[in-house]
Structure 1
Amino acid sequence: MRSFSVSLNAVSRTLCTIAGISAVVAAAPVAAQQSLDNFTFHGSVTTGYGKSDGLGVFGVSKEGTFDYRAIALQFGYKFDSNDRVVVQLLHRGLGTSPLKSVMPELYPVYAFYEKKAKGFTFKAGRNPLPRGIYNEVRFIGTLLPLFRQQMYQETLENIDGLVVSRSFDLGGNWGFDANVFGGEFDIKYSIPTATTPIVGSVRAKNSLGTQLWLRTPIKGLRFGAFGDRFETQPVGKAPKSPPQFMKLVSVDGDFSKFFARGEFQNLSAGAGVKKSSYTNWYAQGGIKPSDKWTLLTEYNQAKSLLHPTPLPDIELNLQNDIAIAVNYTQSANVRYKLELHKADGYSFDSAVPTLVAPTKAPFVMTPAPRSKAYYGILSIAVAF
């Protein structure tokens, strides 16, 4: 048998080590439980079937598609009541839309650190862009009356930078919510032409803007204004772009038995004869016969100012979209939607004639005959 001697100090160190390990092991379940309590997980799944009678519209084709969905998974961790981090992953199914070529299969649409201090909220990182009524909830299908809010398109969902927010009590049941932001974001686009849609993405830099909301004493009624100045990053040897300005105004009325809302947006760049402009707006209204059922209608319109050099400018009515829809809300976390649309104009997934070239004086471009399509979407939205 091996013999050895053990000093009193060695025994003391061993006992202290065992006691320390025992304390850690005993505290581990408490720490683990506290860590789990600080962790949050939420998700939203919206999936549907869409079919058109002819031309493709926003990914809905004549053949029909089940590849129409928005899946958002949000992970959060609270350090305390004033500090947290949030990451939200997004997967989009866009059917046959040309925009699929510039949309990742899965990507972090949000990833930010949030700090609350002295009435202010600071968000740093990839933040939801505070813009209009629906932008910050555009992927939560249970909060949307239609599958997608058409005016917002598939872009400007976030901003890489800083967002500072604060709410103010103005007295007399009036309130004011202010957001100021700065940073960069991507602009994804699909421009209709007579041959094939032009699809791409550009980086907007030096963005500085605000979103303001005025809450009224009438419960459910508020007014909003959004403004942003930014520059697009030059591609290759292209010259630096002139500053671009985006403006949006909102009226949002949501009451117990009915709702009515609308928004108008303008994007402009340049000045004088070189000025470009894109405008779109929508009006939406509906009734709530019961807590479960909602009936609504919506009208969308988009226009663009074109410069067919050397011919005179022309404003082209890109698209009108009329929708009627019915929603059935099974619970706060489950919503079914059936919507029917009529779209006419030039913004389709496949090429359609847009302008007719002049053949005689006064040599002015004229719009081509408008194309049209009827399409429908049946969808279910689940939040958890």
Structure 2
Amino acid sequence: MPTLSPQNTALIVGAGFAGSVTARELAEAGHRVRVIDKRPHIAGNAYDERDAYGVLVHRYGPHIFHTNGERIFQWLSRFTEWRPYEHRVRGVVDGRPYPFPINRDTLNQLYGLDLDEAGAAAFFERVREPREPVRTSEDVVLNSVGRDLYEKFFLNYTRKQWGLEPSELKAGVAARIPVRTNTDDRYFTDAFQAMPLHGYTRMFEAMLDHPNITVELGVDFDDVRHRIERDHTVYTGPIDAYFGYRFGHLPYRSLRFEHEYLPDVAQYQETGTINYPNDHAYTRITEFKHLTGQQHTGTSIVREYPQAEGDPYYPVPREENEALFKRYEALARTEPDVTFVGRLAQYRYYNMDQVVGAALVAARTLIDTLR
């Protein structure tokens, strides 16, 4: 069990959601917390800032907050006001944008139909290719919407995003995307959907603003791991890196971001994000003013290019990767003075709210050891 005690020092590796949430909880429980991050800023991949033209942009691609967890939403609300925002996406097929996730309007516009809700349900039932058991992302989509919609909206997008065939990915990847018989064109249907009113970075600044927390940026854990005295480590980086890649590298998917400012363009596209499953090397374009509600004479967009090399963003959900992670997880259990939490440390395709939830649980576990 961890050996943290009141007034002892915890080293938090990473100033993103996992590290910052844990840091705040420990600090409020009376512990001294030292947060380090190898990047020159806090907030991890959720980092946002004004670009050279004054537009608030997300440096590492769009981060849309949504959750069904009221406790998580209320916890974050201590550090930010919110701007209500419901994200909408279009998928471009043969040069035309359609509502995505697929809904009744998608079917009617794509096939020239006039289906009601029952008609849309009947359409999906007619075209679907039943799969039993459902093991892969290909199984999920074919079982739900059939081959034509699979090939138009999912197949090539998945190839670009993951560098793999849908048949090579676990079912959970595609299962994240719903299919609807109504006309709801929101990307998410969670009870709480909002953006931090003044941005994510401002929210993280408030979260880390506590007399028991010190933050040091531009510090690589590998350079200081044997020099910093602490009673417990909370590690949020890649778990395989922590153990020196003892069993080999866990596969992660990375991204390259191409930011562009468009002067004198009030609005570049009709929704926050447009997916390009079949065209271009990039997967999608996001226009930030949709997300932030900012008023500006110009607009800033970002194109996302998935790639194999670079900073790790997405654990690659395959059975063999999960098996390799389990070997590292077993090693982690032999480190009683280290807590591993977050998307990279737990090798989980977490949403932001799930990372917050995992961090709150991890912090509570540490604090409870004092009792």
* TM-score range for the pair, normalised by the shorter chain length: under 0.3
Please give the TM-score of this superposition, normalised by the length of structure 1.
0.24
Between Structure 1 and Structure 2, the one with more helix by share is: 2
Between Structure 1 and Structure 2, the one with more strand by share is: 1
Please give the TM-score of this superposition, normalised by the length of structure 2.
0.25
Larger RCO (CA under 8 A, 6+ residues apart) = 2
